[in-house]
Structure 1
Amino acid sequence: MTRSSLGVAIIGDGLMAKEHSMALRNVRPVFGAGLPEPRLVVIVHPDEARARAAAEQYGVERWTTSWQDAVADPEVDLVDIVTPNLHHRDVAVAAARAGKHIWCEKPLAVTADDAQRMTEAAEAAGVVTLVGFTYLQNPGLALARELVRRGELGDLFSFTGFFSADTMIDPDVPFTWRTDRSRAGGGAVGDLGSHLISLARHLVGGVSRVAGLSRTVVPERVDADGVRHRVDNDDHTLALLEFSNGVIGTMQASRVQTGRAFEVSFVLTGTRGAIRFSQQDSHVLEVSLASDGLDGHGFRTIELGPGHGRFGDLWPMAGINVGLHELKIFEAHELLSAIASARAASPDFREALAVERTIEAIERSAAQNGAWQLV
C-alpha cells in the first residue's frame, strides 16, 4: 500500500460484493481526500463466468477463480470477504498470514472456534480487521451512546431488540447456503441476531449468560436444481440476555415474520430515561429523559443531523433518512481511517468473536429447551 492507494481483493460476487464495492468507491466523494484511495484490483468466484461478470459490473480491474491467488497477489493490501460464512475462516487466516488487512461480513464464522482462529491469526499478524455490523454506524447510535455515557438514562436495566424480516416465510423460497448449517452456521440467530448482539454490546456491555428458544418454521426447501433439503438452522429465535453489569434484556431474530418486511429496532431503558430507535426511521432517535423536566409521559423525537456521528458528512441539514448503503460507506471510512493511522478498527475480529460466542450460547440453550448458558 502507498499513501495514495489501497489494493483490494473482493472474495465473493453477490449482494455484499455489490454493497462493499459501492461503499469503497464512495468514501472519497463523501469524506473528501486524505485517505488511501481504494483500488479494486481483483474479484473472486470459483465459477469463471460469474467472476468475469462481477468484475465488469463492479468495475474491478480483473477476476480470478482462485481466492488463494487473490490473497497472494502483491498488488492486494486489503482482502474483503463477502462469501458464504463457511469460507470466512480459511480466507481470513491466509490473508492475515500474508500480512493483508481484512474486511469481513458478519457473522465472523460458522463456529466460535473458527472465529477464534481468525482473531488470533489477525492479531498475531498485526493487521487491521473490520466486521460488517453495519447498524453500529448509524448516527442515532452515536447519539444514543453519548446519552448513555453522560448518564442521561441513569442506571440501565433493560434492553429489548428486534430484527424481524419476512424474507423466508414463503415455503417456495429456495434452499440456499443460508438455510444450510454446514455453510451458514446459525440461521436467523446468526444472520440477523448477530446485529442485535452487536448493538446490545455497543450500548450496554458484555453478555454473561443467555437463554434461548428457536424454531425452524419451514422445515424443508427445494434448491435451484429441484432437490429437496431439510432446513437445519433456525428461522425464528427468541433469547433472554443477562449482561455482565446486571442489565437484563431480550432479543428476537426472525426471517419468517409475516407482515414485517424488514425491521431493526431496540429500546434501551434506565432509571432516568429511555431510548427508542428503528432503522426504518433512521433519521430520528426517540428519547424520554427525566432531565427534560417535562411533566408527562412518552417519548419526544430528536431529528438526527450534523453533529450526530457522521451524519454531517452526508447532509448539511437534519431529518434525512440514512440508508444501509450510506451506513456501509461510513463502515468503509472507519476501515480506511484505521489502516491509514495504524490503529484498530471498530468493530474488529475480537469484538466479532464475542458476538459469535454469544450466538453459540443461545444455540446451546435452545438445544436444551431454554436452559441458561454462560457465554
Structure 2
Amino acid sequence: MGRSKKKVRVGMIGYKFMGKAHSLAYRNLPFFFDSDAEPVMQAIAGRDEAGVKAAAEKLGWSSYETDWRRLLERDDIDLIDIGSPNNTHAEIAIAAAEAGKHILCEKPLCMNMEEAVRMQQAAHKAGIVHMICHNYRYVPAIRYAKKLIDGGRLGTIYHMRATYLQDWIMDPQFPLVWRLRKEVCGSGTHGDLMAHSIDLARYLVGEMTEVSGMMETFIKQRPLGEMSGGLQAAASGTAEYGEVDVDDAVAFLARFASGALGVFEATRFGKGNRNGNTLEINGSKGSLRWDMENMNNLHLYLDEDERGMQGFRTINCTEPEHPFAGAYWPPGHIIGYEHTFINLISDLMQGIAGGYSPSPNFDDGIRNQLVLTAIEQSARSKQWGSIPEF
C-alpha cells in the first residue's frame, strides 16, 4: 500500500492563458512526480459566469465561483492560485493570507513596492506557504546552468546579457487591452517580460546593486478592446481610441554585487520574435547560452577543453542527471513550456507538505520589485540608480 499523501485543495482565480497553464500542471503533476502532497482541483473563479463555467468543465475543476472572495470563505480550499490581472494581486493575496490559505501568485508580484511589502508581511504573519510563478527557473537547462555556475565551472562571472523579445502588439490597430493600461498592469513590457529576466539574473548571478535604464512607448494611442485568450485580442468595434500609458520597450545596464556587469533588453516590438527569451553568461573559465525557444538545449563553452576542440557544445538537458528531466521521458525526448509549470507545482506541493516556501517566493518578488522600481526611476531621471537593501 502506498503512503498517504496530503491533499491540497486548490482554488484558482483566472482561467485564460495562465489559468490554462496552471490547470494542466495540477492535472498532470501526479502522473510525473511522486510528491508528498497532491493537488485537488477544487474550484475556479472568474467574473463571467458562462466563461468560468465552461472553463471549469474544460480544464477539469470540480466547481466554480463568480466572486474570488467566495474561495476564501470556503473551508474546502487550502491554496489560492492568483492568475488575475496585476492590479488584483495584492488585495487577493493579503486576503488569502489572512484567511490562512497558501498562495501561488503569477508574476509580477504586484504593482509597486508598497503592495509587495504588504503582501510579504501578510504571508509571513499568517505563516502560510507562498510562491511567485517565475516558471523559467524550472527549465531543466536553467537549473543545470545554476549547478554549473555554483560549482565553479564557469569561474568568476564577468557578464550576463539577456533579451526578451516579442512582437505581438506591433500592429497599430492592436487594441488597448489590459496589458497596455497602467491602472491594471502597472507597467508594460517591463513587468511582463523584464521581470522574468531580472528573476533569472538574480537566480543565476546574484543580487544587483545599481542600474541605468531607459523605456519607450512607440505607439501612443490604440483602439479600445479586450484580450480574447492567449496573446490575442479583439477590438471593440467602435471608433474610440485610448492612450497607451505603459512601456513598449525597456533596456538597462546593471552592476551585480559580485562585480559582474549586466545588459538587458525587453520589447514587444522585436519583429519576428514570438518569445525570444535568451541569456548568455561569461566567466573566467567558460560561458553558457540559453534560448527559451529551444529550451532543452544549454550551450556551454569551457576553457579547459584542449586547443583545436574548443567551442560551444550543445547539451540536450533531458538526461536523468539533469534537474527535473528524469521525471519525464527517456533522454532526447524533449519536454516543453507546460512542463516548467509542472516542475514548479511539484516544488510548491513539497513546500506545503514540509511547511516552507520554496524559492521563488514573495521574498524574491520584493527583490525583483526593487530592481523594477529602480529601473523605472532611472529611466525618468536619466541617471544611475542604486538598489536599496531589503
Structure 2 CA distance, aligned partners of 1:144 and 1:74? 42
Asked whether the 8 Å contact 1:282–1:321 carries over to 2, the reply is no
1:271-302 deviation digits (Å, cap 9, x = unpaired)? 11111111111221111112223446531112
Q: Does 1:373 align with 2:374?
A: no
The alpha-carbon deviation at position 53 of structure 1 amounts to 2.0
1:68-90 deviation digits (Å, cap 9, x = unpaired)? 11112100000000000000000
The alpha-carbon deviation at position 48 of structure 1 amounts to 2.0
Q: 1:256 aligns with which of 259, 269, 276?
A: 269
Count of matched residue positions in the alignment of Structure 1 and Structure 2: 371
Equivalent residue runs for 1:17-36 within 5 Å: 17-32=19-34, 34-36=35-37
Structure 2 CA distance, aligned partners of 1:13 and 1:223? 22
Asked whether the 8 Å contact 1:112–1:356 carries over to 2, the reply is yes
Equivalent residue runs for 1:120-159 within 5 Å: 120-159=121-160
Structure 2 CA distance, aligned partners of 1:174 and 1:71? 34
Equivalent residue runs for 1:1-375 within 5 Å: 3-32=5-34, 34-224=35-225, 225=236, 226=238, 227-295=240-308, 297-305=310-318, 306-318=320-332, 320-369=333-382, 371-375=383-387
Asked whether the 8 Å contact 2:286–2:303 carries over to 1, the reply is yes
Structure 2 CA distance, aligned partners of 1:128 and 1:292? 44
Structure 1 CA distance, aligned partners of 2:117 and 2:280? 31
The alpha-carbon deviation at position 130 of structure 1 amounts to 1.1
SS of aligned partner of 2:288: strand
Asked whether the 8 Å contact 2:302–2:310 carries over to 1, the reply is no
Q: Which amino acid counterpart does residue 285 of structure 1 have in structure 2?
A: L
1:24-50 deviation digits (Å, cap 9, x = unpaired)? 111000114x43331122111122222
Asked whether the 8 Å contact 1:138–1:322 carries over to 2, the reply is no
Structure 2 CA distance, aligned partners of 1:303 and 1:291? 21
**Structure 1: gaps (5+ residues):** none
**Structure 2: gaps (5+ residues):** 226-235
- Residue in structure 1 matched with residue 231 of structure 2 by the alignment: none
Q: Which amino acid counterpart does residue 68 of structure 1 have in structure 2?
A: R
SS of aligned partner of 2:92: helix
Structure 2 CA distance, aligned partners of 1:176 and 1:215? 18
Structure 1 CA distance, aligned partners of 2:96 and 2:360? 18
Structure 1 CA distance, aligned partners of 2:47 and 2:314? 49
Asked whether the 8 Å contact 2:303–2:310 carries over to 1, the reply is no
SS of aligned partner of 1:192: helix
Q: Structure 1 stretch 53-62 or stretch 104-113: which is displaced more? A: 53-62
1:194-239 deviation digits (Å, cap 9, x = unpaired)? 0000110011100111111111112111122333111111011111
Structure 1 CA distance, aligned partners of 2:343 and 2:317? 16
The alpha-carbon deviation at position 323 of structure 1 amounts to 1.6
Q: Which amino acid counterpart does residue 290 of structure 1 have in structure 2?
A: D
Structure 1 CA distance, aligned partners of 2:315 and 2:45? 43
The alpha-carbon deviation at position 20 of structure 1 amounts to 0.5
Q: Which amino acid counterpart does residue 379 of structure 2 have in structure 1?
A: A
Q: Structure 1 stretch 291-300 or stretch 158-167: which is displaced more? A: 291-300
SS of aligned partner of 2:269: coil
Asked whether the 8 Å contact 1:281–1:321 carries over to 2, the reply is no
1:320-361 deviation digits (Å, cap 9, x = unpaired)? 433210111101111111111112211001001111111111
Structure 1 CA distance, aligned partners of 2:146 and 2:241? 46
Structure 2 CA distance, aligned partners of 1:58 and 1:296? 50
Q: Which amino acid counterpart does residue 366 of structure 2 have in structure 1?
A: L
RMSD (Å), alpha carbons: 1.4
Asked whether the 8 Å contact 1:106–1:194 carries over to 2, the reply is yes
Q: Structure 1 stretch 236-245 or stretch 222-231: which is displaced more? A: 222-231
Structure 1 CA distance, aligned partners of 2:48 and 2:331? 46
Asked whether the 8 Å contact 1:137–1:327 carries over to 2, the reply is yes
Asked whether the 8 Å contact 2:296–2:316 carries over to 1, the reply is yes
Asked whether the 8 Å contact 1:152–1:291 carries over to 2, the reply is no
SS of aligned partner of 2:145: helix
